[in-house]
A and B are shown apart, each in its own frame.
Chain A
């Protein structure tokens, strides 16, 4: 009985061992490998990562155990691997990455066309002169060059004057005809300073221009780039006169542009009661009085006259220099009279300096009795000769 049991057990063990034979397990492993690859292609790493890992690892373990000769452990692993491989395949069925369809590129077609090297419209294969342009009627070869009778470089067929050579001076040089007077101003180009612009002989054939547009042509305009202001004062010279009376007040702000006057009087001459400014002198209506035989100025009226002379000089800046002249009558010694007149002229100049007149604008001279303006034989004449004058010498 015991022997029978033992035999049964041995038989059962043998059966179990036979079921887990190495080749069988390896065959299963191959199938599982295929499943695993399928699952991988279906992106099982993303959709069934644990199952895939279980399948792969257990497959590896099974093969390892087989190599060690442990078929029962190998069988256990192969079972786990198989189950997980199937799960991985099932779970990743709809997990495959989207397929990208690449369109087939159209094929590049290169067409070789007939060439025309000289560009004359005759294809090289029909062109007897493929490097030289020529008409089709001449089979692509150039026809014989036409004549140029006048040798001006323009063939006769295109030369309007085939027997007269073109002058090639840059003026209508393509018509073949010479132009001896390009601008047609009657002055031959050889003598014309401006052969391509018409102008009178007086201006050497150049056009008379008025660059500043003031109506005065440049040949007469002293200021070709500045237009004349046409204000009735020296309008012929072409130069603008912005301060006609030179009083320092510009004409556009000068109420009296032709008469000098101070700025505070709008450029108009101030009205004085005792003096008058004329073109060449400052006239005094009454004489400055001096003490007898002396250079000392006396009298309130003399002071007022000096006040107005000083004011006139200040108001008329255009007066650059005035000469203060002292004159006497003929009574007395000539030398003394001369000295006295000098002293009196100097006194007047000092008085004006005191009143603020620039000394550089004045000079004082005594003429004594040498320049009388009336007869010294009468009292009235002598009174006229005793005088002080303010003559403008520079303005």
Chain B
């Protein structure tokens, strides 16, 4: 159906797409997770998580900073991992802060982080 020339072009296109994905997916993903983490952290700040859930708040901030640092080293896989953890901590920080403000008491201690 296809000629030898067409077949060569198709192979080249596939290789180019694969390379683009390998090079481009890492920064895109890490950036997306970092944006999520920053957004959640902002939401946590609005809920006064820095005062009401300091453990989760501090953890989230540390992981965001570290994720950004890893992006700087172009270690995107590690950056994505840290950004995910940052999202998780920021989410918990906001939830605990909201609970604490509703009850007027500090939230219960969280479970130990996954190894």
Note whether A and B form a binding pair. yes
A interface vs B, CB < 8 Å? 40, 43, 45-46, 49-50, 52-54, 56-58, 60-61, 64, 68
Q: How far is the CA of A46 from the CA of B109 in the complex (A)?
A: 7
Answer whether residue B110 sits at the interface, using C-beta atoms and an 8 A cutoff.
yes
Q: Which residue of B lies closest to A37 (CB)?
A: B112
- CB-defined contacts of B66 to chain A, threshold 8 Å: 57, 61
- CB-defined contacts of A56 to chain B, threshold 8 Å: 59, 113
- Contact status B58-A49, CB under 8 Å: yes
Main secondary structure of the interface of A (DSSP, over half): helix
- CB-defined contacts of B54 to chain A, threshold 8 Å: 49-50, 53
Q: Which residue of A lies closest to B56 (CB)?
A: A53
Q: Which residue of A lies closest to B55 (CB)?
A: A49
A327 to chain B, nearest CB (A): 117
- Contact status B109-A45, CB under 8 Å: yes
CB-based closest 5 A-B pairs: A49-B55, A53-B58, A57-B62, A49-B54, A45-B109
Partner pick for A43 among B56, B81, B109, B113, CB 8 A cutoff = B109
- Contact status B78-A40, CB under 8 Å: no
- Contact status B55-A53, CB under 8 Å: yes
Q: Which residue of B lies closest to A64 (CB)?
A: B78
- CB-defined contacts of A61 to chain B, threshold 8 Å: 62, 66
Answer whether residue B18 sits at the interface, using C-beta atoms and an 8 A cutoff.
no
Q: Which residue of B lies closest to A52 (CB)?
A: B55
- CB-defined contacts of A46 to chain B, threshold 8 Å: 106, 109
**A-B contacts besides A54-B62, A64-B81, A68-B78, 13 pairs, CB < 8 Å:** A45-B110, A49-B54, A50-B55, A50-B58, A52-B55, A53-B54, A53-B58, A56-B59, A57-B58, A57-B63, A60-B85, A64-B78, A68-B75
B86 to chain A, nearest CB (A): 10
- Contact status B59-A53, CB under 8 Å: yes
Chain A to chain B contacts (Cβ below 8 Å), 9 pairs: A50-B55, A53-B54, A54-B62, A56-B59, A57-B58, A60-B85, A64-B78, A64-B81, A68-B75
Q: Identify which of residues 21-61 in chain B touch chain A, using a CB-to-CB cut-off of 8 Å.
A: 54-59
Q: Which residue of A lies closest to B75 (CB)?
A: A68
- Contact status A54-B109, CB under 8 Å: no
Q: Which residue of B lies closest to A53 (CB)?
A: B58
Q: How far is the CA of A40 from the CA of B109 in the complex (A)?
A: 9
Q: Which residue of B lies closest to A44 (CB)?
A: B55
- Contact status A40-B58, CB under 8 Å: no
Q: Identify which of residues 58-81 in chain B touch chain A, using a CB-to-CB cut-off of 8 Å.
A: 58-59, 62-63, 66, 75, 78, 81
Q: How far is the CA of A61 from the CA of B55 in the complex (A)?
A: 17
| Most chain B CB neighbours (cut-off 10 Å) among A43, A56, A57 | A57
- CB-defined contacts of A58 to chain B, threshold 8 Å: 62
- Contact status A53-B62, CB under 8 Å: yes
Q: Identify which of residues 90-111 in chain B touch chain A, using a CB-to-CB cut-off of 8 Å.
A: 106, 109-110
| Most chain A CB neighbours (cut-off 10 Å) among B66, B75, B81, B85 | B66
Q: How far is the CA of A43 from the CA of B110 in the complex (A)?
A: 10
- CB-defined contacts of A52 to chain B, threshold 8 Å: 55
- Contact status A45-B62, CB under 8 Å: no
- CB-defined contacts of B106 to chain A, threshold 8 Å: 46
Q: Which residue of B lies closest to A58 (CB)?
A: B62
- CB-defined contacts of B112 to chain A, threshold 8 Å: 40
Q: How far is the CA of A245 from the CA of B81 in the complex (A)?
A: 121
- CB-defined contacts of A60 to chain B, threshold 8 Å: 85
| Most chain A CB neighbours (cut-off 10 Å) among B55, B56, B75, B106 | B55
Partner pick for B59 among A43, A57, A68, CB 8 A cutoff = A57
- CB-defined contacts of A50 to chain B, threshold 8 Å: 54-55, 58
Given known A-B contacts A40-B112, A61-B66, A45 and B55 have beta carbons under 8 A apart:
yes
Q: How far is the CA of A80 from the CA of B57 in the complex (A)?
A: 18
Q: Which residue of A lies closest to B78 (CB)?
A: A64
Q: How far is the CA of A64 from the CA of B78 in the complex (A)?
A: 8
Q: How far is the CA of A68 from the CA of B73 in the complex (A)?
A: 11
Q: How far is the CA of A236 from the CA of B112 in the complex (A)?
A: 108
- CB-defined contacts of A68 to chain B, threshold 8 Å: 75, 78
B96 to chain A, nearest CB (A): 10
